[in-house]
Chains A and B, each alone.
Chain A
């Protein structure tokens, strides 16, 4: 090997092959003071170059590392992607107000409320059923299930209660439920939404108007 050749092969490596007849001619070795200096200190120079490259690479990797915020303390730490959330964990059904009953749903003893269905995150959630727990009532809604809500959005739903039997409804309940069946790509769930005291008061008032003295 010539004096200007490559570094000696290390253990487990091999010397470079000698040039073949079809290989492009090597450039003439450089001369001059810089070249002589280079020849004398080439191992040190090359070692320094490797070190610089490694540090530069390390710096690059550090600079380009994942800067996403540390997950919440209790968030899953495994690298595999989390499954979509259960629909009940990302869906809110909240009470808005008493509203006029939509055409087509009117009846002698029907009354309506507006609720807001919203989805905070994850895949879209489909409401497949809306119900309520009292034997003397039935419920319809506009839009009628199934309807879908995407993450980050909300839609107003009008629910209409129809009194079937006044002796089978409560005159006043503190925390009446709305039972909603929710579906997303992960699962289907029946979940109760407790719409709070304002809904309870409005429901009681509407029932008193609809039933008068016919309560049990």
Chain B
């Protein structure tokens, strides 16, 4: 009898424990990204996964993947399991366009994160927009992508399906010019760019503001991004008497360019935008890069508690590559798509509607959440409303934040 009593009590305790466990696990940790069953929603990711810019591209891919896994783990959208489909654009517009076509053809794709390059985005936007497939770039900074080619005088939204979580070069270039002229006290600049949409555009907005402030442009050059021999340009910089170089482009060229300028005898800082804000720049530029500057979109990670959590989660997920400059923006881009899908599903009785892509694109305009990079929402052009920028300086072999600004206009 005693045994029977104990068994009965143990059974009762077990039943109670199971009841509590069941209550506690609802919507909780499912333990993996294997999904929650139900409908699969694919988030396409387009970025350079191979080639010179792969450090940035792989960070974008992994961070979008982390967002999808987190949503699945939290059962964030009931009945929906998210997965990503990463495609390599090799930083080439033609590859990007092919990838856009492929993503459009996959009916499970309800949104795309990417690309890195503004020039690649130009080739993808119309493909996505024709299919009403929402695109959220974590890294495009070219103003014309959202505000049209005449953005300086008359802003006109180009595509309703295009959004971005990064800020634009309309702010980044002048922000850099203000810092270089007023804080770093540099008055004579030699401007170089790689002739691409991003590089030439950023160099243009920097130059315009630098001249307005009273600075002088003592030389300009365009480089071929397919080469790494910049000795001729470096010699011109040395002879120009410039006290600073501004480079519109990306780190694979900016690193060797900085190194060769210093080797030519011009011990002056090279300044660039978010495209050079990567640890690989410092490796390529060598120890003489101390004092080089980069502006980048967003606040420093150490100022954002949400970013610290992202960094911890990224590390715990065990990705081989760094999240790099756009990791937080990529996570937020993917999460914006997840939020839009959630809204559409909830408005349709818990299921995806037949015109899900159009509805998700429509919902994106009103998405608002506290993300890794701060408050995430979009203005009437699809641009991020959060417009923070930071100046980083190479110190002790790494970029260190020196000044941040917030656009509140």
Contacts and interface: CB of A to CB of B under 8 A. Distances in A.
Interface of A: 7-8, 10-11, 43-44, 47, 50-51, 54-55, 57-59, 61-62, 65, 70, 72-77, 82-83, 85-86, 88-89, 92-95, 133-134, 170-177, 189-200, 216
Contact of B335 (A10, A74, A95, A191): A74
Contacts of B338: 73
Nearest to B407: A194
Contact of B5 (A43, A93, A192): A43
B371 A72 contact: yes
A76 B303 contact: no
A50 B13 CA distance: 8
Interface in B195-252: 208-209, 212-214
Contacts of B19: 54-55, 58-59, 62
Interface stretch (B36-44, B50-58, B398-406): B398-406
B311 to A, nearest CB: 10
B16 A72 contact: no
B409 A199 contact: yes
Contacts of A85: 305
27 contacts: A8-B1, A10-B6, A43-B4, A43-B8, A47-B9, A50-B12, A58-B16, A59-B19, A61-B23, A65-B24, A74-B309, A75-B370, A76-B309, A88-B299, A89-B304, A93-B406, A94-B409, A133-B182, A170-B213, A172-B212, A176-B178, A177-B178, A192-B178, A192-B405, A192-B406, A196-B407, A198-B409
Interface string B133-167: 00000000000000000000000000000000000
B305 A83 contact: yes
B27 interface: yes
A65 to B, nearest CB: 7
B23 A58 contact: yes
Contacts of A92: 406, 408
B306 A72 contact: yes
Given A170-B214, A173-B178, A173-B213, A195 B5 contact: no
A189 B136 CA distance: 32
A210 to B, nearest CB: 17
B182 A82 contact: no
B45 interface: no
B132 to A, nearest CB: 25
Given A74-B335, A194-B406, A65 B370 contact: no
Contacts, number: 159
Contacts of B16: 51, 54-55, 57-58
Contact of A175 (B70, B175, B305, B335): B175
B409 A95 contact: yes
Query: How many residues of B sit at the interface, in one of the four size bands?
Result: 35 or more
Given A82-B305, A176-B178, A196-B409, 20 more contacts: A8-B1, A43-B1, A43-B5, A47-B8, A50-B12, A54-B16, A61-B20, A65-B24, A74-B306, A76-B308, A76-B309, A88-B404, A89-B299, A89-B374, A173-B178, A173-B212, A174-B174, A175-B171, A195-B408, A198-B409
B308 A194 contact: no
A70 B212 CA distance: 49
Contacts of B11: 51
Closest 4 CB pairs of A and B: A196-B409, A54-B16, A192-B405, A133-B182
B71 interface: yes
B67 A73 contact: yes
Nearest to B409: A196
Contacts of B213: 170, 173
Contacts of A43: 1, 4-5, 8
B289 to A, nearest CB: 24
Nearest to A198: B409
Q: In the complex, which of the residues B6, B305, B387 has the most CB atoms of chain A within 10 Å of its own CB atom? A: B305
A173 B205 CA distance: 12
A175 B371 CA distance: 26
B406 A193 contact: yes
A200 B178 CA distance: 13
Nearest to A76: B309
A191 B175 CA distance: 13
Contacts of B387: 194
A10 B67 CA distance: 51
B23 A174 contact: no
A35 to B, nearest CB: 20
A55 B15 contact: yes
A203 to B, nearest CB: 12
A92 B313 CA distance: 29
